[in-house]
């Protein structure tokens, strides 16, 4: 089974509107971290937002918020007031301890390409 | 703040050549790792280190070596480059090995093996 599933390969949104990017995850660990990264065409990986498995409040960072529903194992990213510069690839990722407990691994979903229309 | 610095940003190799991708961080992070990203895909873990002198294999370690002689540096060596190693490589660091907390990425190194 996929650890991280992003079901929307591509999405369009009108400038200034809000958009939700879906992410579901699969883990049996109690302690894990959920991340969203933005990757523009230039290639760098830009951190957007983080949610810890024990955090009860949904994370927010400026125009980004993470809709964390632990029982449903979903961690959707909401971008409010979309801007043209938001056009990019967006990756959901989960960080878990490795089986040996010595390290951790970030597992990425397949990504969603967001295109903001003027 | 420099953060995580990777060099070189671009490299072209011929099959069979060897090279080293450099990674340095100035945040005194104990945990460092290397990922590769193939076209249209997310990142996969190659090797990681939980501190100086300690390294271990990740999901896709074959064809790569690492060492961690200092806290700051974590070089990735390609022993005998193959076209299948054409990819973008990212170095990442974090304060600890625990799965919570932010992971800081370098800007990536684009490698092409002919």
> Is the link from the previous residue into B8 a cis peptide, with omega within 30 of 0?
yes
Whether residues A33 and B105 touch (CB distance < 8 A) is answered with: no
Q: To the nearest whole percent, how much of chain B has pLDDT over 70?
A: 98
Both tokens of B17, joined, read 């050549």
Q: How confident is the model at residue B24 (pLDDT cuts 50, 70, 90)?
A: very high
**Tens of pLDDT along B36-91?**
998 877 789 999 998 999 999 998 999 999 999 999 999 999 999 999 999 999 99
Per-residue pLDDT at A99 exceeds 90 = no
Distance between CA A55 and CA B106 in Å, rounded?
27
| Cβ–Cβ below 8 Å for A97 and B99 | yes
CA distance B101 to B94: 8
Q: Is the model's pLDDT at B2 over the cut of 80? A: no
On the question of pLDDT at A18 being above 90, the answer is yes
CB contact under 8 A, B97 and A103: yes
Q: What is the band of A14 on the pLDDT scale with cuts at 50, 70, 90?
A: very high
pLDDT (mean) for A10-28: 96
For residue A52, the chain B residues in CB contact (below 8 A) are: 100
Residues of B with CB under 8 A from a CB of A: 31, 33, 35, 40-45, 48, 50, 56, 58-59, 88, 90, 92, 97-105, 107-108, 110
**pLDDT for position A37:** 93
Residue of A35, A37, A103 lying closest to B50 (CB–CB):
A103
């Amino acid at each position: 089974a996929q650890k991280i599933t992003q079901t929307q390969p591509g999405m369009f949104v009108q400038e200034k509107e809000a958009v939700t990017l879906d992410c579901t995850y699969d883990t049996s660990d109690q302690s894990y971290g959920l991340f969203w990264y933005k990757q523009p065409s230039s290639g760098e990986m830009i951190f957007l937002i983080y949610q810890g498995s024990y955090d009860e409040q949904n994370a927010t960072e400026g125009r980004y918020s993470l809709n964390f529903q632990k029982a449903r194992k979903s961690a959707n990213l909401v971008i409010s007031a979309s801007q043209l510069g938001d056009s990019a690839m967006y990756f959901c990722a989960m960080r878990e301890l490795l089986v040996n407990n010595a390290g951790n691994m970030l597992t990425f979903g397949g990504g969603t390409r967001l295109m903001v229309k003027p | 703040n420099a953060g995580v610095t990777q060099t070189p940003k671009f490299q072209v190799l011929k099959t069979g050549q060897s090279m080293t991708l450099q990674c340095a961080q100035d945040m005194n992070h104990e945990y460092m790792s290397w990922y590769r990203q193939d076209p249209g895909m997310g990142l996969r873990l190659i090797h990681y280190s939980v501190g100086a002198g300690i390294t271990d294999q990740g999901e896709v370690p074959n064809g790569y070596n690492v060492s961690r002689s200092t806290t700051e540096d974590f070089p990735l060596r390609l022993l005998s480059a193959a076209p299948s190693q054409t990819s973008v490589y990212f170095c990442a660091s974090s304060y600890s090995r625990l799965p919570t907390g932010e992971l800081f990425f370098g800007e990536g190194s684009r490698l092409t093996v002919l």
